[in-house]
């Protein structure tokens, strides 16, 4: 089954707020705060909840920016679909939790060598306000990227995909990666 999740990148002036993941999938990496969408939630609600659970702040005015699709080995349906948001506003002060340690980085010093390999591809698009979808075929144990493909999305496409994840599974780009 495909896991649906969110990632939210908070950017204030020339700084980006990342978490150092203390446990779970991607432990040891820096990433945006985020996590699995729960039953009955929409993607926006899930994104706000996950940021608050992980680092104690209430993120405001989140903008949908892109979608990531991950296959760990070739298979019919993706392992993860991750909805990516961007925000420039929040309330509260970022604090550590059992799951995450928040850290600000200058956007010219993003620690890509301590992040998932796919981030080098799409984080620059997010920073430049380009709406995107990006599909990654990793090897079976999620270590190396075998190949990837990305394209920009129109605001209309973003709207459709953020309302119904099944739409993304119909995109012909998925056939190119497998």
Backbone φ and ψ for 173, nearest 5 degrees, come out as -60, -30
Q: In terms of CB distance, is 34 or 66 closer to ligand 6OG?
A: 34
Contact 82, 67 (CB under 8 A): yes
State the Cα–Cα distance between residues 145 and 147, nearest whole angstrom: 6
Q: Is 19 in the site for ligand 6OG (CB under 6 A)?
A: no
Q: How many C-beta atoms lie closer than 10 Å to residue 138's C-beta?
A: 20
Rounded least distance, CB 81 to ligand 6OG, Å: 10
Residue tagged 């990516």 (tokens): 84
Decide: is 24 part of the binding site for ligand 6OG (CB under 6 A): yes
Asked whether position 119 contacts ligand 6OG by CB under 6 A, the answer is yes
Does position 78 bind ligand 6OG by CB under 6 A? no
- Segment near ligand 6OG (CB under 6 A), from 32-40, 57-65, 90-98, 168-176? 32-40
Where helices occur in 42-90 by DSSP H, the ranges are: 43-55
- Chain residues binding ligand 6OG by CB under 6 A are 5-7, 24-26, 31, 34-36, 70, 80, 82, 116, 118-119, 142
């Amino acid at each position: 089954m495909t896991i649906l999740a969110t990632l939210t990148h908070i950017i204030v002036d020339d700084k980006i707020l990342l978490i150092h993941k203390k446990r779970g999938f991607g432990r040891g990496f820096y990433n945006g705060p985020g996590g699995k969408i729960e039953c009955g939630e929409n993607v926006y609600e899930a994104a706000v909840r996950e940021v608050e659970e992980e680092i104690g702040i209430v993120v405001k005015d989140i903008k949908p920016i892109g979608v990531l699709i991950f296959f760990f080995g070739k298979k019919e349906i993706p392992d993860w679909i991750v909805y990516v948001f961007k925000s420039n506003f929040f309330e509260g002060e970022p604090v550590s939790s059992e799951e995450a340690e928040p850290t600000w980085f200058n956007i010219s010093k993003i620690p890509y060598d301590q992040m998932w390999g796919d981030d080098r591809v799409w984080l620059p698009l997010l920073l430049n306000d380009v709406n995107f979808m990006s599909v990654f075929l990793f090897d079976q144990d999620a270590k190396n990227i075998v190949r990837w493909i990305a394209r920009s999305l129109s605001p209309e496409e973003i709207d459709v995909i953020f309302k119904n994840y099944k739409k993304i599974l119909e995109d012909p780009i998925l056939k190119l990666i497998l």
